[in-house]
Structure formats: C-alpha cells, structure tokens
Amino acid sequence: MELTGAEITVRCLQEEGVEFAFGYPGGAVLYIYDEIFKQNKVKHVLVRHEQAAVHAADGYARATGRVGVALVTSGPGATNAVTGIATAYMDSIPLVIISGQVPTAAIGLDAFQEVDMVGITRPCVKHNFLVKDVRDLASTIKKAFHIASTGRPGPVVVDIPKDITTHKTKFDYPKTVSLRSYNPVTKGHPMQIKKAVKMLLSAKRPFVYSGGGVILSEASAQLAKLVKLLGVPCTSTLMGLGGYPETDRLHLGMLGMHGTYEANMAMQHCDVLLAVGARFDDRVIGNTEHFSQEKRQIIHIDIDPSSIAKRVKVDVPIVGDVGQVLDELIKQLQASKDKGDQTALKTWWTQIELWRSKNCLNYDRSSKIIKPQFVIEKLYEVTKGDAYVTSDVGQHQMWAAQYYKFDKPRRWINSGGLGTMGFGLPAAMGVKMAFPKANVACVTGEASIQMCIQELSTCKQYHLPIKVITLNNRYMGMVRQWQQFFHGNRYSESYMDALPDFVKLAEAYGHVGMRIEKPSDVEDALKEAFKLKDQLVFMDFLTDQTENVFPMVPGGKGLSEMILAEEL
C-alpha cells in the first residue's frame, strides 16, 4: 500500500517513538497536520509562537536525553523557529525540526510564505535537508534522527515542500542508517588514554573541569567515580551543572565569568587539567593569553575533534565519547599501582580550602529588600534540591546557577551558548510534558519572561503547573550591571518601564499570580506555590534593583582577575 508524504512523516515520528511534537500549523504543513489529527500516538502541543515550539522541544530533550521534535510551517513559521534552532545548536541539543516548504514547483519564485530554510539555518544546524522526492522522505527523517542524536548532538532540519506531502510511495522505515561521510568516533585512542593516566598520576595540583558533554553523554556516574577515585577537586561549567553532585566537598562550584573564587583560582593554578566534555569558551576561561601564562598540562576529552585545540593548546587530546573514555581511564587508574603524589594533593587541598574560605557567594542576608540570591536559596530548600530548574538569560540565570545546588544531571536547563532570553518558560513546558509529576521551576526576570510570555496560554491549555520565579528588579539586570561597571553608570535603555501587573496578567491567562515584596514572605510564598500542585503560579518577587552578580571576571580579563562582592 502506498502512503502520502504527510502520512509517511507522521509514521516516521511514530516509528522513532516520538511522544510529543511541539508546533504550530500553517499552509505548507496542512497535510501533515491532517495526519496528526487522525492518530494519537504522537501528541501535538500547540504553542503560541514557533520559537517556543523549538525551545519546548529543546527543554524536553535536555531533561530526557531524547530527541526533541518541532513542527513548523514555511516562511515566518520557519524563521520564527531559527532562534530556537540556534539555541539548541550552541548547546549541542538533539532536535529534529520539520518545516513545511512551498511546493517544489514554486521554490525560487518568491512564492507566498517562501523562505530558503535550508539556507537560513545552515550555519546553526548540525545538518539540514530539503526533501525533493517523496521516495527519499522516510530515509531522510531516519538520517535526521540519527545525525541529531549521535556524535556531538545537535538540531537537524528537514524541510518538506507541500507537494511532497501529497505524493505517494511505499512506506518502509529503514532500520539502520549508514553514511560514508559520518561516523563519529566514540572510543578514545588507547595510547592517549595511557598518557592521560600517567599525567594524572604525576600531578601535584590536579583539577577536573567538566562541561555539558558529561550530561549529553550520560557520564555523571563515571565522572563521580573518577573524581572520587583520585580525590581531586572538580568544577562544572554552566552547561555541566549537575554532572557532578554540587553538594559534594570535592566540587568547587561553577567556574567562569561568574564562577566561584575557588573554582577559578584552581583552574588558573592547577598543573594538570582534565577537561571533560567542555570547550574552554570565552565565558569560562576569559582571556586565553592570561590563561596560558600559568604552565599546566591539559588532557582534553571531547567527542568533537574541532573543540580540541580550538582556543587553548592541549597536551593530550582524546577524541571520543566522554562516558566511554572515562570508563577506560577509571579501569587503568584502578589497575595502576601508582596512587599519585598524595602529599602534594594534600597541600593543594589546603590551598583550595583557603580559597574556599573566602566564601565568595556570601551576600547581605539582613537586607530589608528581597535579595535575589535569597529567593534561589529558598527555592532550593523548598524543592529539596530536586526540582527541574529552567532559566532565561541574565543575572537571574547566574544566581540560579550559583545558589541552586544541582546534584543530578538534566535538572538545570538553560541557554548557555546562545544566551537566549525567552528560553525559560517554553523549555519548562517541554520538561513538564516529559515529567508531569516533577517540580518544574522557571527562574526568570521581568525582562526575559516578556520575550515568550504568550506561552502562559499554552501552559493553560495543556495544564502545565510550572512555577514561574520572576526576580523582578525592573532592570535588564545584566545589562545594567555592565553599564554600571564599564559604561559610567549610564543606564542606556536598560530600565524596564511600563511593566505589566504580572499578577493580573497571570490571572488573565487563568493562572495564579503572587507578588512578594518582603524577605520574610519569600519562603512561605514558595511553599504555598509548590503546594498548588495543579496550578501554574506566577511569582513576582520584587528584588533589590542594585544587586550585582559576583564574583565577576570582566570581559577580556583573566580568570584570576575576578571582582568580588567585598571589593566594592
């Protein structure tokens, strides 16, 4: 029996076991939506803007480790999705985005709602396809899922012209894919691993720097095993939080521009650095020249060869899947008689504890105005550290990263690479769809939330009782902070004037709104909100307008050139 392209598209999603497709219908995808209507295996989630469809699929993917799926129409549907696609690309999140396209015969003729989606997304996808023949459709979708989820994951776009969705062919979903040009290496080179073991055991001041690769590779157990086996200090990047339990003493907190004093100092002053699924980006190590001034040997494990030696020189590059390489490292370390220089390690720890005693994340706890850090600390307590926390971008994101201690992977969901405001709420929808019983909090600011606030409507339709934690300081806080430090207190266009009444707004969407103005009300309000199990609660915390994120490595400066709160 022959099926239409539209039927095939939906059948492919079913074959892949796709639970949810986040999307928005339109002319070019009408036949696909007709097939969605006729079945109930793939549940469609209707968002209010295509950007949110991709963020929601992204949040789902980050929380579950599975491929997220978004479905959008041609033209504006496709271009609206681009921010979401770029967000997923920068953070290596596996997505398949199906976009409608004008009929094959109309391509290139400036047809209504035509845009060159393959061209527009080329720099921000792992790969993309334009399907020109219905007989290629099933194998293309299979390839898309394969490419998105293997190697270094990433978003893949499949652009399907409308006529292809009506053409018929025999449906046969391929069981396997083989691409002569795409075979990611997963097993690390044995010689390199041997060298790494030797180097780690010879270290006087070893340090483990772990990133999003640990989460993507599901390698948290191996990372914890390795770090504990060696008894060495470790840190996580913004993308790696939860990859190693943050409440453990061996963990020094996040590093980078707003990392802890101890993590940044250890990063700068270690003599052997094991980088695990992290890419030495500018927000992590700051100025590369300053970073290289201190002599240290670097072992770098990454599945993407182009991430190695991109910003810093590496002594032992190991291309492979983080989990598999760590397994091998652990095996060899356990077999080794050499246990490393324990005396040196003790001295190193003494130094680290000294750095740690600076207590760099301290803040004014007696404030009469709500301190944003306090809200996050209370959120951590009330949710017992076990919530899924999504965030938008800015100061609130950094405070959430600093003050919520993530002990498990896939709990901290934020746009690290692209820094996309508007990510938090739709991402939380994806998480909540995946885990309806879990506590899901979206930590946001009054500026970020307004970039995708229309999704409060989607939350109502699908009964997604997310807790929106808005740290409302009436400023684009991070912009204000930079203007204060580097632009002579000239707060150009960073004041959020004419804010809506968020409580009324939440109520208008059919949710519960709360405004919290006093520090003494914070905890009770949070408790009350999380008790409302089946309600979305929009919590508007009026926080200190002048609070800044510390420590801070100013742009272009070195890691150890931090500004600390106490220094101001």
Partner 1 sequence: MPMRHIISVLLENESGALSRVSGLFSARGYNIESLTVAPTEDASMSRMTIVTRGSEDVIEQIVKQLNKLIEVVKVVDLNEGSHLERELMLVKVKAQGESREELKRMSDIFRGRIIDVADSTYTIELTGNGAKLDAFLEALDTSVILETVRTGACGIGRGERILKV
Question: Long-range contacts: 36-39, Cβ < 8 Å, 24+?
Answer: 36/10, 36/71, 39/10, 39/14
> Exactly one of 162, 371, 378, 467 is catalytic; which is it?
162
Choosing from 122, 228, 339, 504, the residue that interacts with partner 1 (CB under 8 A) is 122
If the CB atoms of residues 118 and 428 are measured against partner 1, the closer one turns out to be 118
Q: Which amino acid is at 160?
A: I
DSSP 330-359: HHHHHH-S----HHHHHHHHHHHHHHHTT-
Please tell me whether residue 176 binds partner 1 under the rule CB under 8 A: no
Tell me whether residue 162 is one of the annotated catalytic residues: yes
Of 274, 246, 254, 493, residue with least CA distance to 385: 246
CB of 178 to partner 1, least distance (A): 13
- Token representation of residue 33: 């939506």
Residues contacting residue 154 through CB under 8 Å, at least 6 positions apart: 88, 89, 92, 93, 94, 95, 125, 126, 127, 147, 148
- Cβ closest to partner 1, residue 49 vs residue 127: 127
Q: Which stretch binds partner 1 (CB under 8 A): 59-67, 114-122, 166-174, 363-371?
A: 114-122
14 is catalytic: no
Contact window for partner 1 (CB under 8 A) among 173-181, 372-380, 396-404, 478-486: 173-181
Q: Is 451 a catalytic residue?
A: no
DSSP 124: G
Q: Is 269 near partner 1 (CB under 8 A)?
A: no
Give yes or no for residue 179 binding partner 1 (CB under 8 A): yes
Q: Exactly one of 8, 118, 316, 525 binds partner 1 (CB under 8 A); which one? A: 118
From the CB of 80, what's the least distance to partner 1, in Å? 22
Pick the catalytic residue from 2, 37, 38, 112. 112
Number of residues lying near partner 1 (CB under 8 A): 17
- Concerning whether 113 is annotated as a catalytic residue, the answer is yes
Q: What are the distances in angstroms from CA 9 to CA 80, 142, 526?
A: 22, 10, 43
Of 142, 140, 146, 185, which Cα lies nearest the Cα of 160?
140
**Does 130 interact with partner 1 (rule: CB under 8 A)?**
yes
Three-state secondary-structure class, residue 223 = helix
From the list 7, 50, 377, 455, the catalytic residue is 50
Q: Is 180 in the site for partner 1 (CB under 8 A)?
A: yes
Which one of 1, 109, 123, 493 is in contact with partner 1 (CB under 8 A)? Answer: 123
Which helix (H) or strand (E) segment holds residue 169: the answer is: strand 168-170
Report how far residue 252's alpha carbon sits from residue 398's, in angstroms, rounded to the nearest whole number: 16
**Active-site pick, 19, 39, 43, 113:** 113
Nearest to 318 by CA among 196, 445, 175, 409: 196
Q: In the complex, what is the shortest distance from the CB of residue 154 to partner 1, in angstroms, rounded to a whole number?
A: 10
> Least CB distance from residue 479 to partner 1, whole Å?
26
Per the CB < 8 A criterion, the answer to whether 84 and 125 are in contact is: no
Beta-carbon count within 10 A of 542 CB: 17
| Amino acid identity, position 183 | N
Residue 3 bridge partners (DSSP): 169
Instruction: Tell me how crowded residue 83 is: count the other CB atoms within 10 A of its CB.
Output: 22
Instruction: Return the structure tokens found at 219.
Output: 């390698």
Cα pseudo-dihedral 301, 335, 234, 239, rounded to 10: 40
* Contact call for residue 336 and partner 1 (CB under 8 A): no
| String of contacts with partner 1 for each residue 133-152, x by CB under 8 A | --------------x-----
Among 76, 103, 231, 305, binds partner 1 (CB under 8 A): 305
13-42 footprint of partner 1 as x/- string (CB under 8 A)? ------------------------------
Nearer to partner 1, 44 or 152 (CB): 152
**Strand 127-130 vs strand 155-161: parallel, antiparallel, or unpaired?**
parallel
Is 552 a residue of the active site? Answer: no
Among 44, 55, 62, 126, binds partner 1 (CB under 8 A): 126
The catalytic site residues sit at 50, 112-113, 162, 478
Q: In the complex, which residues of this chain contact partner 1 (CB under 8 A)?
A: 118-119, 122-123, 126-127, 130, 147, 179-182, 304-306, 309-310
